[in-house]
Amino acid sequence: MLTSEISDSSDTPYSSTSSNSSTSSLPSHSIISPAILYFGTPVAIISSLNEDQTTNLAAISSVFWLGHRCVLGFGATSQTPINLRARKQCVVNLPDATMAGAVNALAGTTGTPQPSASKAARGYRYVADKWAAAGLTPQAATLVAPRRVRECPVQMEAEVVAELALLRDLPDLRGALVVLELRVLRVHVVDALRLPGFANRIDPDRWRPLVMSFQQLYGLAPGRVAESVLGRIDEEEYRFATRSRVVRLDGDDDKEVVERQFMAKS
């Protein structure tokens, strides 16, 4: 049903004389319709292989992880999803909060020689060598063909396992956006991020991701805001979702290899 006026009747602002003193300090809400819903996710630089076997770079923030699966979101006509559909491999490079300059240098660029009308309207321009444009250094990967970004403290080699076209319920927009499921094969991190005393853990107090929220770049404030209840659970309890008992994949032995190396150095 379409109406000319909408109201959030359940959120009438509380007055200071409200008879319910326990709720008088709670915030009130308004209905709005933002054009974007980017409430804050880490920035990732995706390395993918072009048709001529060169490595394209794209900075994105539509990314999240479950287990060793990574989900990326794109406009369907962007060069990166085109590369990923065709060659099925990439590196998910995570910049830290010091790398905003490189991310901004990639922003507004495209690896597509003829950008779509929507990208052209937003000022995107074709750049063949994004490494040079962003001042970044290619580094060979170990399991996939696209290059890693040496400056990024975290690098995840991955391959595409599934694709889902979005907006399928809207005939005029069907497939305009796409999400890709990646299988993370190997994780590289700088040693400064490793949690002391553990072979395979990241120290969250040292990791400072670059975060995008509503098109702006942020870093994390120092320190924890509170003790996390979930943080009391041993991270290894979640490893069940990272390896299959019936399918062997590249990188499956990394846990044990790293543990042996760690013990040898201890």
What is the mean pLDDT of the segment spanning 184-198? 98
**Complete DSSP assignment for 22-75:** TTTTSPP------S-----EE-EEEEEE-TTSPEEEEEE--EEEETTEEEEEEE
Tens of pLDDT, residue by residue over 51-97, are: 999 999 999 999 999 999 999 999 999 999 999 999 999 999 999 99
The answer to whether 71 and 180 are in contact (CB under 8 A) is yes
Q: Amino acid letter at 250?
A: D
57 Cβ partners below 8 Å, 6+ apart?
45, 46, 47, 106, 111, 130, 131, 134, 136, 149
CATH for 44-215, among 3.40.50.150, 2.30.110.10, 3.30.460.10, 3.10.450.50?
2.30.110.10
Tens of pLDDT, residue by residue over 246-263, are: 999 999 999 999 999 999
Q: Does 7 have pLDDT greater than 70?
A: no
Report residue 1's pLDDT band, with 50, 70 and 90 as the boundaries: very low
Report residue 123's pLDDT band, with 50, 70 and 90 as the boundaries: confident
Distances in whole angstroms, Cα of residue 179 to Cα of each of 37, 72, 109, 123 = 16, 5, 20, 24
Tens of pLDDT, residue by residue over 194-239, are: 999 999 999 999 999 999 999 999 999 999 999 999 999 999 999 9
- Predicted structure pTM score: 0.90
Q: What are 179's two structure tokens?
A: 């999400």
CA 87 to chain centre: 20
Report residue 120's pLDDT band, with 50, 70 and 90 as the boundaries: confident
What's 249's DSSP letter?
-
